[in-house]
Amino acid sequence: MTPAEIIHVLVVWTPFLAGGFLWNILISLVAMAIGTVLGAVLARLRLSGRKSLARTGLAVTELTRNIPTFVFLFYLAFLIPVEFKISDEIYAFPAWLKASLALSVAVVGFVSDNLLVAWQHWRNDNHPAALLFVPSWTMYLVIIVMASSTASVIGVGEIVSRCNIVIAAVSGEEMMVWVYLYAIGYFFGLCFPLNWAMGRVKKRLLARVGGAPKQECGECE
């Protein structure tokens, strides 16, 4: 195919691929929301004066750190029914939500560790160090966005899944490289600016605290 033909194909399928990338963003934001709430609960437990609660929070955090999200994704795909029946009404359980739940496991551990440290700094009136949690959280969102492409394996119509549809539709193996490269451009276009901006914010906060904080994650009781 000529360069003009390749560009034409990509332009024609852009709305379709862009729609898939919106699913990647939705999956990632929901995963971060769920993981942040649950991680905050664990961080609060780890700050508890009661040793039993602190140990429980730490134990659950350790568990979330060691669950492979890709395997857990398949587990949820088969464990959670496709639909539920409540009071004679049938409600579907979307595959994209299963993907968000699977990815949220890693977020739980991340938030539990980093928010714990942030709260400790805040209590010590070291507010710039505490605010380092914000750029760290945003950078972790970037990681989850990139990991969201795994949702394609359970049938979610995100951008990687739609790339396969495009390649099959145009019936040209030579388009495969260009379609996937185009998809990479979506991830790069979102993730690089976020990483760059949060890196700048992090440097400014570190300058205000006189260097990196002593703890990068919470391992204390």
Strand partners, 86: 89
Mean pLDDT by 10 residues, the chain (221 residues): 88 96 97 97 94 94 89 86 78 91 95 96 92 96 95 93 93 85 96 95 89 46 38
Per the domain annotation, does 220 fall within a domain? Answer: no
Per the domain annotation, does 215 fall within a domain? Answer: no
Q: Are 194 and 143 in contact (CB under 8 A)?
A: no
Per the domain annotation, does 99 fall within a domain? Answer: yes
The CA-based angle 187-136-210, given to 5 degrees, is 135
Per the domain annotation, does 126 fall within a domain? Answer: yes
* Three-state SS at 92: strand
> What CA–CA distance (Å, rounded) separates 170 from 148?
25
Q: Are 165 and 17 in contact (CB under 8 A)?
A: no
pTM for the whole thing? 0.88
State phi, psi for 85 to the nearest 5 degrees: -115, 115
CATH number at residue 18: 1.10.3720.10
Per the domain annotation, does 155 fall within a domain? Answer: yes
pLDDT at 213: 44
pLDDT at 215: 47
- How many domains is the chain partitioned into structurally? 1
- The range of the structural domain enclosing residue 49 comes to 3-209
* Three-state SS at 71: helix
